[in-house]
Each structure stands twice: as structure tokens, then as C-alpha cells.
């Protein structure tokens, strides 16, 4: 009995599974029959396209890059003297412009003027000392002449006494000794004066050295007095300042930064690959720091692209190995008043001229790097060799895939397949430019 019940349960479950599967298959077939077959495009259906007749041209490249304007002269001022600020220019505020040679500030120079007066007194004292030494030399020379005569007389008298006593036996030995003593005394006095005459020029030389030192110190004090007055070295814009009236400034303290807005330049990082392949040089072998060609460039502030400024490639500042860029320095026309330091700008740099190339719109190149042309009223895909990429177009090789005279399809095509029939409306490049 139990076995029969189990057998009936298994049969029931199998029947239910079969019914469910049959129902699912029936539903699938019904839905399949309801689906409409896609319409097949007729083989003879014609697709209308816009085309451009390609022409070979010589193209002078315009290298586009971005850089920041900076001043050629940024002066960080540090105090060369210590003292209290006793005057400041009325326009000493960040952003104001102070004209060349106008006084920006003054530092109290009383201490340096007093030091100068003290040095002047020392100088006068040293001059008087030198005068006295020169006078003493003259007097010593006169005394030496007298001492030489006196010593000669005493020597003569001594020799006479000696002859009388030892040869002629006249007089006494004490008379000879007295004469000898006088000679020795006069000779000693003569030597003292001669020694003095030797020392006096050395004293004068030392005094002259002191005089020169004092003069140098006076010159330093004069310089310190001048340093107490700070003038604008050019038409300067105040970028920052830390000097206020009454403030005490210490020697070496940085207190002012000036910028020259009349002499500007722009640091332009340029991809090294672009620079090597397309930047002009004065000769074939590029010596980056000497032979860069000074060509004119066009500069536009990114916030106001309608206005352009003129500049010239001046030099290469450095090669940045981290970013692999060549940093060009562009000098900006001094007459240009549109740009100021800190502005981020787009720069157009004329490059080399590429001969016999084709210009095609970027939009005509598909994901596989191919383009479509019309050949015998049929669509034909062609490969291209891109020489240079610009914002909206490519410059490609003439003859390597595309050729001058090819009818390039410039409109979008859905499901483009080689060999489909197309009908074109051709335009010359000039007409296309007018349409745009």
C-alpha cells in the first residue's frame, strides 16, 4: 500500500513538470510569432552624403600651448640699514603703482650722520698727526746735520789730545779722556737722531693707513645715509609690504616686493616631442639654449580670447625631465597693456612648414583610424597617416592611403559598409569654411 502511494506521487510530479515545460514552450512560440522581422535595406538603396574634394597644400603649423605671464623683474627688498621708518609714500599699498625714482620710504638717518661726524673728527686728528710727523722729520734732519758737525769737531779734538799726550808727551791723560768722552756722547746723540729719522716714516705710514680706514668708514656712513632713502628703481607695482610709519626695521629684514608690469614675459611649457619635430631652429642641429629661432607668437588670455597680444620667442629656460617639456620664454611686446603677471594664456607658436599634405576634419576619422571616401558612387574606407593633430583637424600624408583629389565623406553615416551606394554633394574646402 505504501509503495503504491509513493509511485503515484512521483508520477504526479513528473506530469506537473511536463505541463509547465509545455506551457513555457507554447508561450515562447507565441511571442516569437508576434516579433516583427527587421526590414532589410534594399541593396539598391542610395545613401546621401556630404563630401569634400581633398587638395594637397603646404601647411605652416600653429603649435598651441598654455603658459603663465610673469614679470621680468621682481624685486624683493631687504633693509640694508636698521632704524625707524619716518616716512612712507602715500600710495604704499598692495596693488598701487609708484613711479620710477619716487621715494617709497625713509628710515631715520640720525645715527649714521652722527657716526659720520665722529669719523670726520678722527680724520682731522689723523691728518694733524701726519703733519706733525712730517714736521718732526724735517726738524730731525736739521738736528742730524748739527750733530754730525758737533761729533766731527769732538772727534778732531779727541785725536789732537791723543797725539799730544801719546806722541809729543804734552798734556795729561785725563785731558785726552775728557775729549774722548765728549766725542762718544756727541756720536751717541747723532745715532739717536738717525734712529728716530728711520722710525718716523713708519709712523707716518701707519697714520696714513688709519686715515684711509677713517675715510672708508666715512664713505660707509655716507652710503648708510643714502640707504635710509628707498626710491622706486622702475615704475613699480606693490606686490607686498611690511613697512609702516614708525616701525623699527632691522638690517636684512625683508619688507617690500616690487613688480615691473612694463617688462613681461611668459613661461611656456611645450611638449618635447612637438618641440623636436615641429619647432623652428636657426640650423638643423638644435642647440636648445642658443639656436632657437626668435619667431613672433600670438598670446590670448584664456578669460578673454577675443583680444590678442604679440610676443617673441626669446630663449629656452630649461628642460623639465619630469614633465618632458621644453620651457620656452616668450618676451611680450612692451606696448601691450592687456596682460599682467599671473595671467594664464593660450599661445600660438608658428612651427615648421609641412609640404604636400592633406587637411581633414577630425570628425571624419572613425574609431579604427579610418576615413570614408566616395569611389565610383560606392563607399570605400581608407587608412590614413596622421602627421599632426590640431584642435578640429588632422594633417595627413598625401599618397599614403588618402590622396589629393579623393572625395572625402564629411557627414555622419549609420552602419557604413564598404560597397554601399552613395550619392554625394561635393564642396571645395573654401566653401566648407564659409558654411562653418
Same domain, residue pair 139 and 195: yes
Same domain, residue pair 213 and 233: no
| The predicted structure's pLDDT at residue 208 | 94
Q: Does any domain span residue 360? A: no
18-42: average pLDDT: 62
Same domain, residue pair 277 and 344: yes
354-385 tens-digit pLDDT: 899 999 999 999 988 899 999 999 999 999 99
Same domain, residue pair 392 and 430: yes
DSSP 292: B
Question: Which residue range forms the structural domain that includes residue 78?
Answer: 74-108+228-260
Same domain, residue pair 90 and 236: yes
Same domain, residue pair 294 and 145: no
Q: Does any domain span residue 308? A: yes
pLDDT band at residue 283 using 50, 70 and 90 as cut-offs: low
pLDDT band at residue 35 using 50, 70 and 90 as cut-offs: low
What CATH number is given to the structural domain containing 302? Answer: 2.40.30.170
Q: Does any domain span residue 289? A: yes
102-127: average pLDDT: 95
Look at residue 29 and tell me whether its pLDDT is greater than 70. Answer: no
Same domain, residue pair 146 and 16: no
391-425 tens-digit pLDDT: 889 999 998 889 999 999 999 888 888 999 999 87
Among 24-38, 199-213, 338-352, the range scoring the smallest mean pLDDT is: 24-38
Task: Find, among 299, 304, 397, the residue nearest to 350 by Cα.
Answer: 299
What CATH number is given to the structural domain containing 51? Answer: 2.40.420.20
| The predicted structure's pLDDT at residue 40 | 45
Q: Are 362 and 395 in contact (CB under 8 A)?
A: no
Same domain, residue pair 431 and 325: no
145-200 tens-digit pLDDT: 999 999 899 999 889 888 888 888 787 888 888 888 998 999 999 899 999 889 99
Q: Does any domain span residue 40? A: no
In total, how many domains does the chain have? 5
Same domain, residue pair 183 and 287: no
Same domain, residue pair 143 and 208: yes
Domain boundary among 354, 382, 400: 354
What is the secondary structure of 215-283 as a DSSP string? Answer: HHHHHHHHHHHHHTEEE-SSSEEEEEE---TT-EE-TT-EEEEEEESSSEEEEEEEEHHHHHHH--BSS
Same domain, residue pair 338 and 195: no
Q: Does any domain span residue 26? A: yes
Confidence (pTM): 0.62
pLDDT band at residue 280 using 50, 70 and 90 as cut-offs: confident
Same domain, residue pair 424 and 340: no
φ and ψ of 370, to 5 deg: -110, 160
Q: Does any domain span residue 335? A: yes
Q: Does any domain span residue 41? A: no
Whole-angstrom distance, CA of residue 187 vs CA of residue 157: 13
φ and ψ of 196, to 5 deg: -65, -40
Q: Does any domain span residue 42? A: no
Look at residue 81 and tell me whether its pLDDT is greater than 90. Answer: yes
Amino acid at each position: 500500500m505504501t509503495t503504491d502511494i509513493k509511485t503515484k506521487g512521483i508520477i504526479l510530479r513528473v506530469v506537473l513538470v511536463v505541463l509547465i515545460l509545455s506551457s513555457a514552450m507554447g508561450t515562447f512560440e507565441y511571442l516569437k510569432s508576434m516579433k516583427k522581422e527587421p526590414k532589410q535595406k534594399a541593396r539598391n538603396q542610395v545613401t546621401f552624403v556630404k563630401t569634400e574634394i581633398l587638395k594637397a597644400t603646404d601647411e605652416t603649423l600653429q603649435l598651441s600651448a598654455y603658459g603663465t605671464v610673469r614679470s621680468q623683474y621682481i624685486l624683493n627688498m631687504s633693509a640694508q640699514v636698521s632704524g625707524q621708518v619716518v616716512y612712507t609714500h602715500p600710495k604704499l599699498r598692495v596693488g598701487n603703482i609708484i613711479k620710477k625714482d619716487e621715494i617709497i620710504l625713509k628710515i631715520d638717518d640720525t645715527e649714521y650722520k652722527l657716526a659720520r661726524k665722529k669719523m670726520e673728527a678722527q680724520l682731522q686728528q689723523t691728518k694733524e698727526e701726519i703733519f706733525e710727523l712730517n714736521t718732526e722729520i724735517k726738524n730731525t734732519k736739521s738736528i742730524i746735520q748739527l750733530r754730525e758737525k758737533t761729533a766731527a769737531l769732538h772727534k778732531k779734538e779727541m785725536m789732537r789730545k791723543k797725539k799730544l799726550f801719546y806722541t809729543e808727551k804734552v798734556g795729561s791723560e785725563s785731558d785726552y779722556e775728557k775729549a774722548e768722552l765728549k766725542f762718544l756722547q756727541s756720536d751717541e746723540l747723532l745715532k739717536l737722531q738717525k734712529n728716530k729719522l728711520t722710525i718716523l716714516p713708519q709712523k707716518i705710514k701707519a697714520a696714513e693707513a688709519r686715515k684711509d680706514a677713517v675715510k672708508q668708514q666715512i664713505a660707509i656712513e655716507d652710503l648708510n645715509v643714502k640707504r635710509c632713502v628707498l626710491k622706486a628703481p622702475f615704475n613699480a607695482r606693490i606686490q607686498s609690504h611690511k613697512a609702516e610709519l614708525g616701525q623699527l626695521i632691522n638690517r636684512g629684514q625683508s619688507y617690500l616686493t616690487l613688480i615691473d608690469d612694463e617688462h613681461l614675459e611668459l613661461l611656456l611649457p611645450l611638449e618635447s616631442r612637438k618641440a623636436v619635430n615641429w619647432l623652428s631652429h636657426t640650423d638643423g642641429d638644435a642647440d636648445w639654449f642658443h639656436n632657437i629661432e626668435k619667431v613672433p607668437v600670438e598670446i590670448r588670455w584664456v578669460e578673454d580670447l577675443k583680444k590678442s597680444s604679440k610676443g617673441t620667442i626669446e630663449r629656452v629656460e630649461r628642460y623639465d625631465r619630469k614633465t618632458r617639456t621644453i620651457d620656452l620664454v616668450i618676451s611680450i611686446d612692451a606696448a601691450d597693456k592687456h596682460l599682467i603677471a599671473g595671467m594664464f594664456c593660450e599661445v600660438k607658436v608658428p612651427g615648421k612648414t609641412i609640404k604636400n599634405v592633406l587637411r581633414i576634419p577630425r570628425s571624419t576619422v572613425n574609431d579604427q583610424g579610418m576615413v570614408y571616401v566616395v569611389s565610383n558612387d560606392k563607399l570605400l574606407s581608407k587608412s590614413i597617416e596622421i602627421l599632426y593633430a590640431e584642435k578640429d583637424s588632422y594633417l595627413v600624408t598625401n599618397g599614403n592611403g588618402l590622396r589629393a583629389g579623393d572625395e572625402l565623406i564629411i557627414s555622419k553615416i549609420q552602419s557604413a559598409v564598404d560597397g554601399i551606394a552613395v550619392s554625394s554633394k561635393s564642396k571645395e574646402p573654401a566653401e566648407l569654411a564659409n558654411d562653418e
